[in-house]
Amino acid sequence: MATLLIKNATLVTPKGKNSLKGYEMNKLHIENNAALFARDGIIEYVGPTSSCPTSNADEIIDAQGKVMLPGFVDSHTHLIFGGFRPDEFEWRMKGDSYMSIMERGGGIQSTVNATREASLKELVKKGEWFINRMVDMGITTVEAKSGYGLSLESELKMLEAINCLAENPERKLKVISTFLGAHAVPKEYKGRTGEYVDLIIKEMLPAVKGKAKFCDIFTEKNVFEIEDSRRLLTAAKEMGFDLKLHADEIVTLGGAELAGELGAVSADHLLHVSDEGIKKMAEAGTVATLLPLTAFSLKEPFAPARKFIEAGAAVALATDLNPGSCFSGSIPLTIALACIYMNMSVEETITALTLNGAAACGIADKTGSLEVGKDADVVLLHFDNYKVLPYYVGMNCVETVISEGKIVARNH
């Protein structure tokens, strides 16, 4: 049985098997000269180095002068896709809006065309490239969505690519799969949104059941509005999917209220969420997954993190890596933006990227904190003070990354 011992570290971790809500997000357990012992990827001891029941292990790391954190959880990405869209980034810099780019044939449909043409092997290879970058930044769990196929065949291909990454015996991180067949209305269904929703419910959902943990939808004006969103998500819930929503990103539509009504695990983006939507999500325990890199890339106002926290909601942070609105998976920049522009404390930001991110993926009982019985998903920083994370602006502070007890990255 493989064993790991980390000793003499500065331990910084939230605690619990569910999300931390509101001001509880500030409550981190901090302990100097701490040790962690894991066997076969599961934590068996966390506490003072002096009290650790063993000083031997297959792998021993002396972490003197280093912070030990839970691995980061990136709970909203679109890391599987064909092609790239750098021209659209330039159009946005010249003033074109996200929706106007979609209307002229760019946006999601552009990536749909490229993804439909890409082979499974090509999609997996690109996904592996992104994952290697993610691991270097301390990510030990990533959520990955389909949604650039928009046909049964291509959506299944995307989910197969995601599951190839998840099931790779040499994988470096956990991969959580989400079905996002309702990411946009494909061109062949233009003007017939209801019929496309019917297709998803009758053909796609039964076909992807068991291949994805979550069902997600882009609830937005002139894309999938509230009634079609409710209809699709209700059907998905009845089939056993857990629910996510892209909600209130571009206009205030009521996506957050719908997420609360249906008991969604998370609602994401939320740049234009209403006060009522915040209240409904807090009451339902729906995690607010905020994506500051996307707001930054689109030059939009940031999501109201403080309002969610003051309302007693759980906030997670994620990168939203995708080929259009946010071609970045930078955890360091996500942390900086959350602290500097969203007024989140360093402690809240750590909780949002660990335990609450795990809750947004439905696995907070397995990861997201450094506690006995959880997976040994660990990050060691180059520094002895966790407050360096936003202070070293946009730069990677991670030295060593451990996923399920195995060292998967070292940054010297």
Q: Residue 224's beta-bridge partner residues?
A: 219
What value does the mean pLDDT take over residues 218-222? 96
How many other C-beta atoms lie within 10 A of the C-beta of residue 373? 10
Report the chain's mean pLDDT, rounded to a whole number: 96
pLDDT at 228: 98
> What is the pLDDT averaged over residues 280-307?
97
For residues 313 and 277, the answer to whether their CB atoms sit within 8 Å is no
Predicted local distance difference test score (pLDDT) of residue 71: 98
- 102 pLDDT more than 90: no
Residue 304 has a pLDDT of 98
Q: Hey, what domains does the chain have and what are their CATH numbers?
A: 3-70+367-410 (2.30.40.10), 73-360 (3.20.20.140)
Give the C-alpha separation, 301 to 56, whole Å: 51
The mean pLDDT value for 280-309 works out to 97
Residue 292 has pLDDT above 80, yes or no: yes
pLDDT in tens, 355-412: 999 999 999 999 999 999 999 999 999 999 999 999 999 999 999 999 999 999 999 8
Average pLDDT over residues 261-276: 98
Determine the pLDDT at residue 99: 73
pLDDT at 389: 98
If residue 148 lies in a helix (H) or strand (E), which one and from where to where? none
pLDDT at 109: 84
With a cut of 80, say whether residue 268 has pLDDT above it.
Answer: yes
pLDDT attached to residue 146: 98
For residue 129, give Cα distances in angstroms to 37, 123, 133, 345, 409. Answer: 31, 10, 7, 32, 14
pLDDT in tens, 145-154: 999 999 999 9
Please count the helices (runs of H) and the strands (runs of E) in the chain. 16, 16
What percent of the chain has a predicted confidence (pLDDT) above 90?
91
Give tens-digit pLDDT for 110-157: 899 999 999 999 999 999 999 999 999 999 999 999 999 999 999 999
Residue partners of 218: CB distance under 8 A and separation at least 6: 147, 180, 182, 183, 184, 224, 246
pLDDT in tens, 234-254: 999 999 999 999 999 999 999
- What does the pLDDT look like over 51-94, one tens digit per residue? 999 999 999 999 999 999 999 999 999 999 999 988 888 888 88
User: In Å, how far are 268, 364, 401 from 73, measured between CA atoms?
Assistant: 15, 10, 13
pLDDT at 274: 98
Section 34-53 average pLDDT? 98
Which pLDDT does position 388 carry in this prediction? 98
- Statement: residue 29 has pLDDT above 90: yes
For residue 64, the Cα-to-chain-centroid distance in whole angstroms is 30
Q: What is the pLDDT of residue 90?
A: 81
Instruction: Check if the beta carbon of residue 7 is closer than 8 Å to that of residue 60.
Output: yes
Strand partners, 407: 402
pLDDT in tens, 4-13: 999 999 999 9
